Amino acid sequence: MDVSQFVANAQAVKDSLVHLQPIQDRIIARLSRLLEQDAASIAAQASSPEAWVLNHQLGSMASLLNALTTQLEQGEPGLAGAVDALTPTTEAAAAAGPQHTEALAPAVAGPSYRLIHKSGNAPIHQTPARIRLSRDELSEVFGHLQPWELTRHRRPLGTPLFHQSAANYTNLVIDCENDTARRMWETMPLAVAHRWGKRAANVREIKHRYPEDCDCWCRGTWVAVVEGHAFGRAAIADKKRQERKGGEGAAAAAAGRDDDRSQSADEGTLEVLSFEEFRLFFLYSIRIPHPPPSSEPLPAPSAPVHLPALTTVVGLSVEFAPLRIGRSWCTPNLTSLAIDRGFVSTEAVKPWISGCESLEEIDLGGIEEDGEGEELVEVLRVLSPSNSLSSLRSLKPVKVWQARAHHIDRLRDTLVGRGVNRTLCHMGMDILPGDDMRNDDGTRIRIEKVADLAGAVMHPDALASPQSFLDTDYQCSIAAELVSWGCTHRRPLVRAIVGHLAAHLGQVVYSGGEETAQEGTAAAATCAAGASGITDGTFPEADTLELESSALATPEKQERAADIAACMRKLTTVLARTSPAEPDAIVPFLRALQSHYARTKTDRTLTLDLRSIPSATLTTAGARNGLELGRHAAHLPAIEKVTFHITGDVTDADFDAFYGNVMAVVASSTKLRGHKETSVTFFGHTTVGRKVACRFRAQHSLTGLCSNQFDVECDRFVLQVKRRG
């Protein structure tokens, strides 16, 4: 007999039995856990698919264990007798000498272990690496699954645990970004969405993420979920009332009186309704069916929809705001409302405002406005007088950029009459028109009325910072004469408003008008003495000065325009509309400006844009002299770019003189300090431009502009000369 094979067989049987022991322990632990459940729980799960699988596995294992046990019982007596018979022989072989030990040593597989110490302590009880979760704990776990994920586990969970898991939802997102979520919401019937809202009885926020340019996607689903939640809460409140009515004594009577005073004693849980537009990375990155699914809501319920915990509504767009029309939603505790997308009608906004007594923030940037504030007044008048807006702290925007005095007075009376009495901390008033703030009576009256409105509704601390009630995000120009008037006004708030506008706008317009202050004030005497409220710090952000055609009509106005330009720290561009009578008045202005720069040791490079140059001024001899800026280069600021905009047609008889004057003006401009580019435009008079282009191509070598210093381009719209390098 092969001794090595004998030992190997014995070791293999031993190892198999040792390996079988932990498997046996694990199976026993699992079966013990199953048998620890009460009979009712086992019976409730007996019909589930998992129970059928377990029953099949137990039957197979029982048959296998029965056969194995029988075979081991039959073989164990023979094995015991054989081992007992071999024990003396083995001991003799061990005592015979080391030669046999060396022969048997290679047959031992793996290291040898032996007990070297006993602590005397009882063995540590180690439970299996798992715990049994209670129903509440399981509902918390499954409550993190999305509705379509939770639905897959409905049968194994059972109906009670399924509903308990759905009731643990705190945030629901009707999302179009995720493909699985989008398809689920698109195919979900509105009645099913209503049931999901009813199940989510503890939800705190419902968010709707709709695709870009498709606001109506699943908006009916959103309404169904919200109303379902409200009715779910109402059902819970009804159940509690029934339980209280079943009681006896004073407590039941008091509960009955509470029920009589309110249809719903429930405090609610839904606090936030939010809407977010999902911007596509590229067009058609997601596919939306046409027409959009579930775009229309279910018919309005007959019972009121109570949302007592709702405090915040943000992101309402033109498609969602009208959905409350005809639906009896009660949101008495709403504090923050933002309807900031699209052009929402006032009729769609009124239901969101009506009945609210605790509003703190209102953003109606999405409503249709005409710049007079009438729409805002119409919306706010839905609220009852007295103190319905006493909690209001932020109101925006207030668009009064073309409002007259009575419009602003009506808005002030509406706010004050509803409790807004010097309590606002922020009010985004838009008083900037679409083009420019002109120096006229209408603009001045509007500014004074805006000061009245701000003084009546803004908190005194907020009045110290005009940015708290003025919106200057829109870019437009402001008249220098208006700034001079406002900065010398007798009312501090008017001075603050005009100063704030001047400090944030980027373009100043000077037309040479009167810079008057109110009579009888110290400012009036100051203006009469030739000074004004414009200083070096008046226009910290303005980089463009526009001079109207009348701004340079007299030497005094030319000097005044230079004074204003010198006060603009960031001045880079001068736009001048030339007068037919004084086409060369730009030169005295630039000379005066350079004198200011020389006195203050300021080195600045400008861009000069001369507009509305009549072509007739360039058809006579000598007319070009005032526009040949290079002749005065030593006395002018550095000008890197010059543009001449020529208007009007030119007859064939005058064209030769016109072309010669234009070329002389262009050539002269290249001698300016810092020159980089000169352009002459003929926009609107392509016939003149075409003639100039044809003549230039034929005689370009005579102009002196075709050297290595310049790149020249000429077509029917523009003649452009750029300095190389």
What is the rounded CA–CA span in Å between residue 626 and residue 582?
9
Write out pLDDT tens, residues 177-218: 888 888 889 899 999 999 999 999 999 999 999 888 788 889
Are 313 and 334 in contact by the 8 Å Cβ rule? The answer is yes
Top pLDDT among 624 and 325 is at 325
What is the rounded CA–CA span in Å between residue 576 and residue 317?
43
Phi, psi (rounded to 5 degrees) for 373: 80, 5
What is the rounded CA–CA span in Å between residue 510 and residue 532?
14
Q: What are the tokens at 132?
A: 């049994």
Tell me the C-alpha to C-alpha distance, in Å, between residue 64 and each of 31, 71, 625.
Answer: 16, 11, 116
Top pLDDT among 437 and 94 is at 437
Are 608 and 642 in contact by the 8 Å Cβ rule? The answer is yes
Q: Which of 148-162, 189-203, 706-720 is predicted least confidently?
A: 706-720
Over 90: is that where the pLDDT of 680 sits?
yes
Are 326 and 352 in contact by the 8 Å Cβ rule? The answer is no
What is the rounded CA–CA span in Å between residue 618 and residue 623?
6
Q: Look up residue 535 and give its DSSP letter.
A: -
Are 505 and 472 in contact by the 8 Å Cβ rule? The answer is yes
Over 70: is that where the pLDDT of 318 sits?
yes
Write out pLDDT tens, residues 378-416: 999 998 887 789 999 999 989 998 899 999 999 999 999
Compute the Cα dihedral for 407, 345, 318, 415 and give only its sign.
Answer: positive
Mean pLDDT in residue range 671-691: 87
pLDDT tier, 525 (very low <50, low <70, confident <90, very high otherwise): very low
Top pLDDT among 84 and 451 is at 451
**Residues paired with residue 458 on neighbouring β-strands, in sequence order:** 424
State how beta strands 272-278 and 305-306 pair: unpaired
Compute the Cα dihedral for 244, 246, 248, 254 and give only its sign.
Answer: positive
Tell me the C-alpha to C-alpha distance, in Å, between residue 522 and each of 60, 448, 497, 500, 690.
Answer: 108, 19, 19, 22, 58
This prediction has a pTM of 0.73
Structure confidence at residue 702 (pLDDT): 61
Write out pLDDT tens, residues 244-296: 887 644 455 454 444 444 444 578 899 999 999 887 665 556 777 788 888 89
User: Does residue 491 sit in helix, strand or coil?
Assistant: coil
Round the average pLDDT of the chain to a whole number and report it.
Answer: 83
Tell me the C-alpha to C-alpha distance, in Å, between residue 664 and each of 60, 631, 661, 710.
Answer: 108, 11, 5, 16
∠ CA 130-131-133, nearest 5°, is 135
The torsion region of residue 249 among left (phi > 0), alpha (psi -120 to 50) and beta comes to left
Structure confidence at residue 128 (pLDDT): 64
What is the rounded CA–CA span in Å between residue 530 and residue 640?
33
Which residues make Cβ contacts (< 8 Å) with residue 519, sequence separation at least 6? none
Q: Look up residue 177 and give its DSSP letter.
A: S
Q: Which residue shows structure tokens 């949302």?
A: 307
| pLDDT-above-90 percentage for the chain | 43
